Amino acid sequence: MRIFALNASRVFGGKLAFALGVPIDEHEERDFEDGEHKARPLVSVRGEDVYVLQQLNGSARESVNDKLCKLLFFIACCREGGASRVTAVVPYLAYARKDRQTKARDPVTTRYVAQLFEAAGTDQVMTLDVHNIAAFQNAFRCRTIHLSAKELFADVIARKAAGGPVAILSPDGGGIKRAQLLKEAYERLSGAPAGFGFMEKRRSRGVVSGELFAGEVEDATVFILDDMISTGGTMLRAAEACRQRGAKAVYAMATHGLFSKGAEAMLAHPAVDGTIVTDSIAPFRLPEQRLRSCVEVVPSAPLVAEAIRRLAFGGSITELLGDDD
């Protein structure tokens, strides 16, 4: 087995190596003056089961497109070098939100990205809490491994609720199943029931509307679950609705903390008691002080490491995720 972490994901790669108990294999990346780049493994990959890590979020240093291109080139290079199998490990998968046409002549970018991975010779793609799991699985012809942070978040909920009433809320209709699975994970862990609710959300030309609120949150500690936090507008809208209905405390919870422009307003808003994300994104687009004071980061590397271990040595991913029922 060979494990590579491209330079933009070296921190997560170090956590992965620690959890697996193996070193990250050496590779080289070079950026040229004209904007081109190259990457290659510095160890033999012939006949090896290769795992390549890249967190596909944009940063001030590298765009999403740069990161994706480097990953695809590196995967193709490993195939050229005789690797028996190559798995792309992408805790955050870029372009997953554009999974269908919503306007005339719209692109279906999720499918195009899948075609790029397949053309580069990718055998498997592993990701964490993708935006739409059905669209993700249907876009790829190669094997997909979809991991969930629900067990990680269930631990956090049990700690923060401290035995009090809990409610899990989806901020829109598209996340209902995700929130239901977290509710079930929490109930298995704690042995206590959790409330459940969701909000209506419609978006047209950047304008969000919808007033329906289903669920009981009065006197409960509410955890609003989404796959990602970008500007934070969706989370803040749901948090304010929960406060108006008598919630005791409200936490924003998401796997991917993109924290785009405007997110700091949500983090500092009195309607939100705290924000919980995983470390699937690196680096966070937040000042260090704001990150420390407002955001709890849950490690996801042990989960990803265990999934890699099971893929490499024949273990069950379904069992790992607690989905064997």
Sheet holding 195-199, edge to edge: 213-214, 195-199, 166-170, 221-229, 249-257, 274-278, 295-298
307 in Cβ contact with 148 (< 8 Å): no
DSSP letter for 7, please.
Answer: G
CA 102 to chain centre: 23
H runs (alpha helix) in the chain: 10-20, 64-80, 109-119, 133-139, 150-161, 176-190, 233-244, 263-268, 288-294, 301-313, 317-320
201 catalytic, yes or no? yes
Query: How many other C-beta atoms lie within 10 A of the C-beta of residue 324?
Result: 8
Catalytic residue among 67, 150, 160, 201: 201
Q: What is the C-alpha R_g of the chain?
A: 20
- 81 sits in the region (left: phi over 0; alpha: psi -120 to 50; else beta) called alpha
The Cα 17–Cα 216 span in angstroms is 43
Place of tokens 């904007």: 35
Q: b/e per residue, 11-22, with b = 16+ CB within 10 A?
A: ebbebbbebbee
The Cα 209–Cα 215 span in angstroms is 19
Report strand pairing: 213-214 vs 195-199: antiparallel
SS3 42: coil
Comparing C-alpha atoms, which of 133, 50, 126, 167 is closest to residue 320? Answer: 126
Token digits of residue 295: 């955001």
Active site positions, annotated: 201
